[in-house]
Chain A
Amino acid sequence: MTSENVPDTGGQPDPAAEAGEDRLAQQVERTGMFGTETTGDTSGYGGLQVRRPDLLSTARPYGSYFDEIADRLAEGLERDGAAFAEAVSRVVVERGELTLHVPREHLVAVARLLRDDPSLKFEMCLGVSGVHYPWDAGRELHAVYPLLSITHNRRVRLEVTAPDSDPRIPSLVSVYPTCDWHERETWDFFGLIFEGHPALTRIEMPDDWKGHPQRKDYPLGGIPVEYRGATVPPPEDRRAYS
């Protein structure tokens, strides 16, 4: 590279170039295009590297009623002596839905406030959905709580993460009794330990089952099946396009 073909930025760092450097520093999500790893891909896309995007975070204004929820929540947290920035690590507005990422130590306080504050009133919790992101180092296991306010006809989603090495999240049963079975299900399928749950036992799988089947690293097993002369490999060995 010579100085002639570099655009003159007057000695200032070029923001576009810096953004490119940042992008290259990110984790590679997948390579290639068509799910093949051996020869056979003659498309020229074999060297493609798709990088994982940064964690989403939305800046104010969030739009819709989301700003009001954030304001009321911040006020309430302040009354209780906690800072909004501490109790809500990220706010994501995506596809018209609001997600509050809450560090696990603040989960119960945030949920209680969302339920009790007259201007928030999220009376109903619609369960817990676990998600396992094996690549997300230090935050592999996520628990997602969709909340519903019947009083104000609003929805919000709480997302909590825990590392694989310490899969503990405080239980919300004391705030939303409906979480009882949902937390048992998430423990059963993902191995997330909900601390303070009255009886965290398996609910769907047999009591003596080993492992947590919805985790991405759970072995599926299976054998190749022959069908009309061709062989269908077990699910884990099938070609994936993502």
Chain B
Amino acid sequence: MTAETEGRVYNVGGEDWDEVVNAASEAGSEERLIVNMGPQHPSTHGVLRLILTLDGETVTELRPVIGYLHTGIEKNMEFRTWTQGVTFCTRMDYLSPIFNETVYCLAVERLLGIEQEVPPRATVLRVLMMELNRISSHMMAIGTFGLELGATTVLLYGLREREKVLDLFELISGLRMNHAYVRPGGVSQDLPHGALEGLREFLRVMPRQIGELRALLDANPIYLARTKNVAYLDLAGCMALGVTGPVLRATGLPWDLRKSQPYCGYETYEFDVPTQATSDAYGRYLIRMDEMEESLKIISQCVDRLAAKRPKDDPVMIDDPKIGWPARLAVGADGLGNSPDHIAHIMGESMESLIHHFKLVTEGFRVPAGQVYTSVESPRGELGCHAVSDGGTRPFRAHFRDPSFSNLQSLSAMAEGGMIADVIAAVATIDPVMGGVDR
């Protein structure tokens, strides 16, 4: 206890809650109990710390404290090339890495003025990966939501389905997370053999699996009791606090950047924007379930488009040797590696190609000076990237407007005045990812 501490201090060591409550009630009802929840708490989605002021079981004040997962990603990116920046920003919101990569690459492409030259196949692959990612992220959100309300089965179901997406990610990009798959100018590689079959199998089994989760939760009386009219936040509150994503759509406003300000050709896909008018945790859950079903529709359209053209006639990286990464990958005798044709070309045939390769890899490409703001609809809301270039080969400043950061601010508005048990539901319904909040 420090000299500045006011009032009585109770140290909680576990299994002694009764003593604490008795001691607090003896002190008289005037006294408020201040509980420090987190930063290492299983239901705070990473390292989020909540300072709760309690009056009995009612939360009178809630203050979120963040910063425990700050890794300086934005600063680090200023010391790497524009292409290397992808490997940093993919690690921010680790449950939706493809969105981080895409929004950053869209910003770099707009700075370069090459938005129209990104090959269509690369754009379809970006959409495909983003929608797969949306499903994996929502599965995690719903799974942990269930776990935090006390239903472990939901988490197991959610993780099981998420695993299917991660397997596809591993097949397509080579990694389960931190993919660095989307690059300025396109994507790192085309679909490997067997990917289309894997995607079709995924599309075949997934509707049933989502149905299974729905059967478990949609009308479950315990679940309804824990989520209906809980963590209420209406439209005016969302607007003032800058809340986007499922939380905003649960107020009945069909605001989805994929529809309202389309990017990556989303205007050419057929899908709906699910909304609910309940403004509560249950409405947000329903929206996440509906969105996964809409994502399946988009994935199926992506698969049709990818299957329609032979990959050979359809590049996935911009046809500009000053920007497109030269290292084309090929399956060699000893597994995946640099394309032997490319190596033979730069080492044996063309001095200029070798120089270009060397310059692009060591120095990177220059990006004209200026600033842009791009945004995509991530599973949690509007993910924005404010990128500033001074004309050099590194980002002068890359700032990410992470939706979790803004949405987490609304936690006090959702939870104050409610029961302490509903704080858990409120945190889970925002679905914050601390990697994205703290960056």
Q: Known: A146-B401, A205-B67, A240-B392. Contact between A97 and B261, CB under 8 A?
A: no
Is the pair A144, B386 in contact by a Cβ cutoff of 8 Å? yes
Is the pair B438, A178 in contact by a Cβ cutoff of 8 Å? no
Q: How many A-B residue pairs have CB under 8 A?
A: 109
Is the pair A126, B242 in contact by a Cβ cutoff of 8 Å? yes
Is the pair B79, A238 in contact by a Cβ cutoff of 8 Å? yes
Cβ-based interface call for A123 (8 A):
yes
Contact residues in B for A203 (Cβ distance below 8 Å): 66-67
When each residue 58-97 of chain B gets 1 if its CB lies under 8 Å from chain A and 0 otherwise, what string results? 0000000011001010110001000000000000000000
Is the pair B392, A178 in contact by a Cβ cutoff of 8 Å? no
Is the pair B390, A242 in contact by a Cβ cutoff of 8 Å? yes
CB distance from A69 to the nearest CB of B (A): 16
CB distance from A52 to the nearest CB of B (A): 9
Binds A, one of B15-23, B126-134, B315-323, B365-373: B365-373
Cβ-based interface call for A125 (8 A):
yes
Contact residues in A for B70 (Cβ distance below 8 Å): 204-205
Is the pair B113, A124 in contact by a Cβ cutoff of 8 Å? no
Specify the chain B residue showing the minimal Cβ separation from A235.
B79
- In the bound complex, how far is the Cα of B241 from the Cα of A124, in angstroms? 8
Specify the chain A residue showing the minimal Cβ separation from B67.
A204
Contact residues in A for B242 (Cβ distance below 8 Å): 124-127, 176, 178
Checking B113, B253, B364, B397 against A131 with a beta-carbon cut-off of 8 angstroms, the contacting residue is B397
When each residue 120-159 of chain A gets 1 if its CB lies under 8 Å from chain B and 0 otherwise, what string results? 0001111101111000000000001010101001010100
- In the bound complex, how far is the Cα of B244 from the Cα of A109, in angstroms? 25
- In the bound complex, how far is the Cα of B244 from the Cα of A176, in angstroms? 14
- In the bound complex, how far is the Cα of B216 from the Cα of A105, in angstroms? 56
Contact residues in A for B401 (Cβ distance below 8 Å): 126-127, 129, 146
Is the pair A129, B261 in contact by a Cβ cutoff of 8 Å? no
- In the bound complex, how far is the Cα of B243 from the Cα of A202, in angstroms? 22
Contact residues in A for B386 (Cβ distance below 8 Å): 129, 144, 146
Contact residues in B for A123 (Cβ distance below 8 Å): 239
Contact residues in B for A181 (Cβ distance below 8 Å): 405-406, 408-409
- In the bound complex, how far is the Cα of B369 from the Cα of A94, in angstroms? 11
When each residue 202-244 of chain B gets 1 if its CB lies under 8 Å from chain A and 0 otherwise, what string results? 0000000000000000000000000000000000000111111
Checking A94, A127, A150, A238 against B255 with a beta-carbon cut-off of 8 angstroms, the contacting residue is A150
Q: Which of A195-233 contact B (CB under 8 A)?
A: 202-206, 213-214
Is the pair A213, B392 in contact by a Cβ cutoff of 8 Å? no
CB distance from B362 to the nearest CB of A (A): 9
Cβ-based interface call for A177 (8 A):
yes
CB distance from B259 to the nearest CB of A (A): 10
Is the pair A204, B66 in contact by a Cβ cutoff of 8 Å? yes
Is the pair B384, A126 in contact by a Cβ cutoff of 8 Å? yes
Contact residues in B for A238 (Cβ distance below 8 Å): 79
Contact residues in A for B393 (Cβ distance below 8 Å): 240-242
Cβ-based interface call for B311 (8 A):
no
Cβ-based interface call for B110 (8 A):
yes
- In the bound complex, how far is the Cα of B399 from the Cα of A126, in angstroms? 12
Cβ-based interface call for B52 (8 A):
no
- In the bound complex, how far is the Cα of B239 from the Cα of A213, in angstroms? 31
CB distance from A236 to the nearest CB of B (A): 9
Cβ-based interface call for A95 (8 A):
yes
- In the bound complex, how far is the Cα of B70 from the Cα of A213, in angstroms? 12
Cβ-based interface call for A15 (8 A):
no
Is the pair A214, B371 in contact by a Cβ cutoff of 8 Å? no
Complex A-B: 13 CB contacts under 8 Å: A95-B113, A126-B401, A127-B242, A129-B397, A129-B401, A132-B397, A146-B373, A150-B260, A180-B409, A203-B66, A214-B74, A240-B393, A241-B364
Q: Please give the residue numbers on chain A whose beta carbons come within 8 Å of chain B beta carbons, in ascending order.
A: 29, 53, 94-97, 99, 123-127, 129-132, 144, 146, 148, 150, 153, 155, 157, 176-178, 180-182, 185, 202-206, 213-214, 235, 238, 240-242
Q: Please give the residue numbers on chain B whose beta carbons come within 8 Å of chain A beta carbons, in ascending order.
A: 66-67, 70, 72, 74-75, 79, 110-111, 113, 239-244, 253, 255, 260-261, 363-364, 366, 369-373, 375, 382, 384, 386, 388, 390-394, 396-397, 399, 401, 405-406, 408-409, 438-439
CB-based closest 10 A-B pairs: A242-B392, A178-B242, A129-B399, A204-B70, A129-B386, A204-B67, A241-B393, A235-B79, A177-B240, A146-B373
